[in-house]
Every structure is written in C-alpha cells, then in structure tokens.
Amino acid sequence: MELVATRNKGAEDILPPDTYVWQNTERFMARIAESYGFDEIRFPTFEKTELFVRSVGETTDVVQKEMWTVKGRESTYTLRPEGTAGAIRAVIQNGLLNEAMPRKIYYQISAFRHENVQKGRLWEFHQFGAELVGAAAPQADAQMISMANDILSGLGIGTELHINSVGCRECRRKYYEVLREFLLPVKDKLCDTCRSRFDKNPMRILDCKSEVCRELTANAPVITDHLCEDCAKHFAQVGELLDEAGIVYKVDPKIVRGLDYYSRTVFEFISSDIGAQGTVCGGGRYDGLIEEMGGPATPALGFAMGMERLILALKAKGGTDAKAKGCDLYILAADSERTGNSALKTAASVAAALRKSGKTAEYDLCSRSFKAQMKYANKINAAKLLVIGESELETGECVIKDMVSHEQRQCRLDGEEILRTI
Ligand code: ATP
Ligand code: MG
C-alpha cells in the first residue's frame, strides 16, 4: 500500500525539542511587542481572494504567482500569503479605527505561498507581524524599526538594516517616467515578469531576483533622488531618529519591497548567516492601504518577520539549547491483588497535586511491571522517583529518591508533603 504518512514538500513538521525553541522565541517577541504597547490579534487563515489582489497588489510576485487559491461554493478564497491584508481587514471591520489612535497590533501566524521550495523558502511558513495604525510622523517609523531591532538583537541575531523611501504616489509617478526612460532600451532583455511590470510598476523590476534583470538595473536611477519635499523630509527625519537611537542602517535604494501598498519608509533586516534567503524581516509604511480597502484614509505601517529564517539564524549561531521541561517526579506504582486498584489511584492523586503547582509528574499508563516502569523513568530522565507499593500504602510513609545523586528522603504519602519534599 502507498504510504500516506508522507509530508508534502514545502511544509515542515516542528518537533520537540525544537518546539521549545519556537515557544521561547514567540514568547520573547510577544513580550517585546507588548512593551511597546502592541496587543495580539488573531484572524482567519483564509480571506476572499479579492482582498489579497486589492491589498497586496496585482503586480506583485505574491499575487501573480504565489497564491494558494481554492474555490468555495460561494466565492474564491485564498490562504493568507501574509498578515497585513487580513489584520487590516479585521481592524477596519471590527471598528478598531474608532479607538484611540495610534492602535498597535501584533500577530503570530502561518502563511502560504506557492513558490520554489528552498532553504528558508517554504509553501507554509510562519510570521511574526506587527502593524501600527493611525500615525504618520517619522517617530512611528523609527519606533517600528526600533522594535524589530530590539527583537532581533535580543534574540542575538546579527543583521544588517537596510532602509529606503519609496515616496508617495506623486514621487513615484515622476520617478517611474525617469526609470522607464532608463529601462526602455533594454526592455526586451528583461525577464517576462519584469516586461509585464514595465508599464504598471517599473520600480518592482529593481526587486527582481533574476541575474539578467539585476545586471540591467545595476545603474538605474534611484527613487531617493526623486522624492518630493515632504517625503524627503520625512525620510531624513527617520534617519535622524535612528541615529539618535544608536541604530545602524544603510540607505539602500534597491529595497522596494515586494508589495504594492508601500509608501515612504521601507526596510529590511538581512542576516548573512542563513544563505541566499537572508531577509529575516521586511516592513514599511502603507499610508494608502486602509483607504484602498474601503476604510477612512489612515496612515499606517508594519513589518513581518519570517519565523523559519529566524530559527535558522538562531541555530546558525548556536542559540537553540531549549529543552523540554522533563519529568520532575515519576511515580512507580502497580496495582496487584493485594493493593486492589489503590496504588495507581494514589499515584494519580499525588500527580494531580504536583501538577497544580506546575510540577511535571507521571505514572504508569501501560500496565507495566515495576522493572519496565523503572526503565521508562530512566528513559524520560525523570529527576526524582517515588515508589508506591504495598508497604507505603499500609504505613502512609514513602521515600523519594533523587535519580542523579541517589539521595533519599522520607515523607508522608501525601501530595502536599511530597511537593514540599521534592
Ligand atoms: P523574499 O524576497 O525573500 O521572497 P518577500 O519580500 O517575499 O521575501 P515579505 O512578503 O516581506 O517577503 O515577508 C516577510 C518575511 O517573511 C520575509 O522577510 C521572510 O523572512 C518571510 N518569508 C516570506 N516568504 C517566505 C517563504 N516562502 N518561506 C519562508 N519565509 C518566508
Ligand atoms: Mg517572496
């Protein structure tokens, strides 16, 4: 028979002890976000396809090539390829825009993109994302970058921060003309996708991963030389605020971000420890998106971190020694003709008392002999051992043995007392 227990390519199982690395990382990120005043939100894994087409943008790789789309009975749905569209949809729909502004939210989600599977590039992956809604000032941009920086440096991941400004619609309209003029003579040499971007969104050609396109655009004019006065001032202020905060960055006019709805500040944190897929965090301002989605015109910005790439970076620097908590007490107990079923019942009540205080306690679930139970306790590295046999049940006294030092301590066979003794 064909083996059905086979994982699909592009998807990963996360197993212990790695799950503990993930948990610790996710908790750390949540704690930092909360210290900046962000609250967690959760939203569905799928939305109407139209939401992503409108918000992520028709000219993006995500919409053109990478969406997982399924036909439902009433509509066509897409598994979220990123978090901003769904998060902002939820913010608009649930009236969060009527709350005190700015509103800060974060999320930890799975996301789906149908792309070439490689190290750090999966079909199903995970993101930590944050969105700051209702603030246009450069302080908001600096704060978002500073939060991402705190998370990455707090995790001990070395990255380079690249920032750019993609201006407003007006700056881009003028810049596109200059850029098209530069690209026109080489238009036919561009890849198919980029040729189709020439009219609608030529800036995205700078973001193309093909070697040919990269070479052809190496000396292209840059948007930062074509910003309007307001956008130039905003960008300069963001830079000053980052300088003040001691955050090192590089202005990189090639950072245009993959998504259509960005305006002004865009940024990426890049790690050099994890190979070609080095961008661990990408973000930026998207002042036009909320209005585009049918809400009131509201400035906003956000970022998303790729969890798989972060964990790869953590592993590359050896920072992943998280372990499972392990068993604090294994209770050796077996029912017999003499004890009836009181030995395992007592084991269960002792274990329950320990668990209430956050200790891990286990006892036999497989009707095993004492010898086999002992073997199991060793295998799971139980820290302490308690035997509940006939005499313990008779006298109400028991002995707790340390599995490493072999030290023994006597106490009453009572949950509270055992908790104090271990
Ligand atoms: P890339 O240029 O690497 O394709 P992107 O611009 O498409 O990235 P974003 O949409 O900005 O990526 O997503 C934010 C982050 O999510 C990325 O920086 C990356 O860490 C992670 N990410 C994106 N796509 C994938 C994927 N297919 N598999 C794993 N992680 C991903
Ligand atoms: Mg991509």
Give the domains, in start order, of the chain with CATH numbers: 18-168+228-316 (3.30.930.10), 329-421 (3.40.50.800)
Ligand 1 atom at minimum distance from 309 CA: 20
> Which has the minimum average pLDDT: 44-48, 176-180, 228-232, 273-277?
273-277
Q: How far apart are CA 74 and CA 50, in angstroms?
A: 13
Residues in CB range of 312: below 8 A, 6 or more apart: 119, 120, 273, 274
Q: Is 366 helix (H, G, I), strand (E, B) or coil?
A: coil
- From 61-65, 91-95, 119-123, 346-350, the region with the lowest mean pLDDT: 61-65
User: For 94-122, what is each residue's pLDDT tens digit?
Assistant: 999 999 999 999 999 999 999 999 999 99
One DSSP character per residue, 55-115 reads HH-TTSHIIIII-EEEE-SSSEEEE-SSSHHHHHHHHHHTTGGGSSSSEEEEEEEEEE---
Task: Please indicate whether residue 304, judged by its CB atom, sits closer than 6 Å to ligand 1.
Answer: yes
Contact in structure between 257 and 206 (CB atoms under 8 Å): no
The rounded distance, in Å, linking the Cα atoms of 362 and 329 is 7
Q: What is the pLDDT of residues 234-271, one digit of tens each?
A: 999 999 999 999 999 999 998 987 677 789 999 999 99
**Nearest CA, atom 20, ligand 1:** 306
Residue of 62, 125, 157, 208 to mutate, ligand 1, most atoms within 8 A of C-beta: 125
Mean pLDDT of 42-68: 93
Kindly give the distance from the C-alpha atom of residue 61 to the centroid of ligand 2, in angstroms, as a whole number.
Answer: 7
Ligand 1 centroid from CA 91, angstroms? 23
pLDDT, position 98: 95
Ligand nearest 254 Cα, by number?
1
**For position 318, what pLDDT does the model report?**
83
**What local confidence, expressed as pLDDT, does residue 10 receive?**
96
Q: What is the pLDDT of residue 258?
A: 66
Q: Return the H-helix or E-strand segment holding 270.
A: strand 263-270
Give the number of the atom of ligand 1 that is nearest the alpha carbon of residue 283: 11
E strand or H helix that includes residue 28: helix 18-35
Asked whether residue 6 carries a pLDDT value surpassing 80, the answer given is: yes
Helices (H) and strands (E) in the chain, counts: 15, 16
Q: Which of 99-103, 170-174, 301-305 has the lowest mean pLDDT?
A: 170-174
Mean pLDDT of 221-227: 95
Nearest CA to ligand 1 atom 25: 121
Q: Give the HSE-up count for residue 22: Cα atoms under 13 Å, Cβ half-sphere.
A: 17
CA–CA distance, 42 with 400 (Å, rounded to integer): 45
Assess whether pLDDT exceeds 90 at residue 290. yes
Model pLDDT for residues 348-371, shown as the tens digit of each residue: 999 999 999 999 999 999 999 999
Which has more pLDDT, 146 or 277? 146
Please tell me if the CB atom of residue 121 comes closer than 6 angstroms to any atom of ligand 1.
yes
266 Cβ below 6 A of ligand 1: no
Cβ 127 under 6 angstroms from ligand 1: yes
Question: For residue 1, is pLDDT > 70?
Answer: no
Residue of minimum CA distance from atom 16 in ligand 1? 306
pLDDT at 322 over 90: no
Alpha-carbon gap, residue 421 to 404, rounded angstroms? 16
Tell me, what DSSP letter sits at residue 328? S
d(CA 215, CA 150): 35
d(Cα 135, Cα 102) in Å, to the nearest integer? Answer: 6
CA of 207 to the centre of ligand 1 (A): 13
Q: Measure the CA–CA gap between 308 and 23, rounded to whole angstroms.
A: 13
Residue 65 Cα to ligand 1 middle (Å): 14
66 lines ligand 1 (CB under 6 A): no
- Predicted model pTM: 0.92
CA–centroid distance, residue 235 to ligand 2 (Å): 25
Which residues make Cβ contacts (< 8 Å) with residue 115, sequence separation at least 6?
A: 61, 65, 66, 121, 123
Report the chain's mean pLDDT, rounded to a whole number. 94
**Tokens linked to 338:** 């003499």
63 lines ligand 1 (CB under 6 A): no
Residues 348, 42: Cα–Cα separation, whole Å: 37
> In the prediction, which pLDDT does 279 show?
95
